[in-house]
Amino acid sequence: MSDFESVLPTEVPADAQLIDVREADEFAEWHAEGATNLPLTELQLRYGELDLDKDIYVICLSGGRSARACQWLEMNGIDAINVSNGSAGWRDAGLPIYQRDVN
């Protein structure tokens, strides 16, 4: 059971605090424009880096890891919003992404 809100990628405000919980190498390949990387594996150590004065939107590739991150944050008293369909949904919706140049 989840106690956190979920939104579609198209519902994330342009100026949102968007946290991508994929691993650093995944994030480096491509990610939603404006996202900050804070891997799920490091969340318990680094959650103090989050700006608690702003809504926290959490994204991963498809929504699974971000849901786990939201659950952990909520259990620790931090409101978080899961981005359903993840970065793949973000890209498929035509929203801006950063993609590493492979050339």
Domains annotated on the chain, with CATH: 5-99 (3.40.250.10)
Taking alpha carbons only, the member of 34, 28, 40, 27 closest to residue 13 is: 34
What is the model's pTM? 0.94
What's residue 86's pLDDT? Answer: 96
* Residue percentage of the chain with pLDDT more than 90: 91
Cα–Cα distance, 33 to 50 (Å, whole number): 18
What is the mean predicted confidence (pLDDT) over 13-30? Answer: 97
Predicted pLDDT at 23: 98
Phi, psi of 36 (to 5 degrees): -110, 135
